Amino acid sequence: MKIILQVIICIMSILLMGCSDVDNIIKENLEAMEIVDTNPICTDLDQVEENIKLAIDNLDNEVKFTYKGDNSDILQRISDTIKKVIDENGEYTVLVSNYETETTSYAYKSKVKISFKYNLSQEEYSEVKDRVNSIISEIIDPSMGDFEKEKAINDWIVTNIEYDKTKEKTNAYTALFEGKTVCSGYAHLAKLMLDKVDIQNKLITGGDHAWNIVYIEGKWYHLDTTWNDPSYVNISDKMHEVSYEYFNVTDEFISKSHSWDRTLYPLANTKYEGIRKKTMLSLADIRIGGISLYNFDPNTHKYYLNRNEVQGKSIEFIPRSSVAELRLNKFSNRWEIKIKSEEYEDIGTYILYFN
């Protein structure tokens, strides 16, 4: 009876006031007749973005809201907004595995439901965060600077996680509780650990790969813990060693092997002069007849060999960097190995003396 009365009032109002006010009258009366809407109200796409971010941050399986605004092409505009939110947040790209959007549109509004699927459950994510807190308490000292914290995190990940060649273990949970993951798991774990120690960072995705960009000592640098792990390139005799080739690198260096949308991330154009420079200008091994030199240490640059013991055997020099340039100079009583990197002007030198 109440609805019939409202319809009659609506028709009388139209007859009295004229057609110019028809849209407003219909809208007002439809709103009055409708059951109360308990969903959040969004009046622009910025508010839609905030609802999407909140849902993903909480790993909510769905988010519902009512959009009151221009609802032309609303399904496409909502889909574009979701894609924008995920693309601009690297962590979301490794958390969200799939999503679907449903809209029901009326003359003056649209009801929207977005369903998300994630790469790990809320329970797993909670366990990951608890484990990260525990690890950080073990490896980080409050007196450490940001570089020391970053190095400790890189070293822990590289020495405790193995790259999963099957590509079935894909997230931070499998990394921490099964010891294996792929690049998305490495990068997400690194982000969570860096966040925990208050180092500003972002997770980058591009070209089917994921890594991080970190803000250290006032500059941005790329950090790829996956490519710093010998298990990624299957160097079996170096499985528990740590590489720093992709530790605090520039856009210029990493762009030779990685691709990403540079408009979404800060520039990294400063060469890091710390531990990475040492890596780029040093050897990983010296092998005599295919066997590693028993007392080899990358930080020791002079070795004394018995000429008779090495006579007729091959001598190999293995650089720590895959892009290093080696130059060998042979003298009557010694060999000098020069290591160059196009990034740095300095040269690393190792000398073998023959007695």
pLDDT 10s digits, 137-195: 999 998 999 999 999 999 999 999 999 999 999 999 999 999 999 999 999 999 999 99
Which of these, 235, 188, 236, lies nearest to 245 by C-alpha position? 235
Question: What span, in angstroms and rounded, lies between the C-alpha atoms of 149 and 269?
Answer: 22
Q: Do 46 and 158 sit in the same domain of this protein?
A: no
Contact 301, 350 (CB under 8 A): yes
Q: Do 126 and 107 sit in the same domain of this protein?
A: no
274 within domain boundaries: no
Confidence band for 221, pLDDT divided at 50, 70 and 90: very high
Most confident of 24-38, 136-150, 283-297: 136-150
Range of the domain at 322: 283-354
Confidence band for 13, pLDDT divided at 50, 70 and 90: low
Query: Which of 118, 141, 164 represents a domain boundary (last residue)?
Result: 118
273 within domain boundaries: no
Question: What span, in angstroms and rounded, lies between the C-alpha atoms of 266 and 29?
Answer: 51
320 within domain boundaries: yes
Query: Which of 118, 152, 177 represents a domain boundary (last residue)?
Result: 118
Bridge partner list, 318: 285
Pairing of strands 96-105, 110-118: antiparallel
272 within domain boundaries: no
Q: Is the pLDDT of residue 19 over 90?
A: no
Q: Do 128 and 262 sit in the same domain of this protein?
A: yes
Predicted local confidence at residue 2, as pLDDT: 47
Q: Do 130 and 101 sit in the same domain of this protein?
A: no
Predicted local confidence at residue 236, as pLDDT: 47
275 within domain boundaries: no
Q: Do 226 and 297 sit in the same domain of this protein?
A: no
The encoded tokens of residue 300 equal 């020791």
Question: What span, in angstroms and rounded, lies between the C-alpha atoms of 328 and 335?
Answer: 7
The encoded tokens of residue 121 equal 């459950």
Question: What span, in angstroms and rounded, lies between the C-alpha atoms of 247 and 121?
Answer: 31
Predicted local confidence at residue 250, as pLDDT: 95
State which H helix or E strand residue 218 sits in: none
State which H helix or E strand residue 134 sits in: helix 122-139
Give the residue-averaged pLDDT of 46-52.
95
271 within domain boundaries: no
Q: Do 254 and 305 sit in the same domain of this protein?
A: no
Question: What number of H helices and E strands is found in the chain?
Answer: 12, 17
Secondary structure letter of residue 259 according to DSSP: -
Query: In the chain, which ranges are continuous DSSP H helix?
Result: 2-17, 22-33, 45-57, 74-87, 90-95, 122-139, 146-160, 172-178, 183-196, 251-254, 275-280, 307-310
Question: Who wins on pLDDT, 107 or 284?
Answer: 284
Query: Which of 266, 300, 315 represents a domain boundary (last residue)?
Result: 266
Question: What span, in angstroms and rounded, lies between the C-alpha atoms of 152 and 147?
Answer: 9
Q: What is the CATH number of the domain that holds 114?
A: 3.30.1370
Give the residue-averaged pLDDT of 119-147.
95
State which H helix or E strand residue 133 sits in: helix 122-139
109 within domain boundaries: yes
**For residue range 246-277, what is the model confidence (pLDDT) as tens digits?**
999 999 999 999 999 999 999 999 988 888 88
3-state helix, strand, coil in the chain (%, to 5): 40, 25, 35
Question: What span, in angstroms and rounded, lies between the C-alpha atoms of 285 and 190?
Answer: 28
Q: Do 77 and 24 sit in the same domain of this protein?
A: no
Q: Do 223 and 261 sit in the same domain of this protein?
A: yes
User: What's the total number of domains in the chain?
Assistant: 4
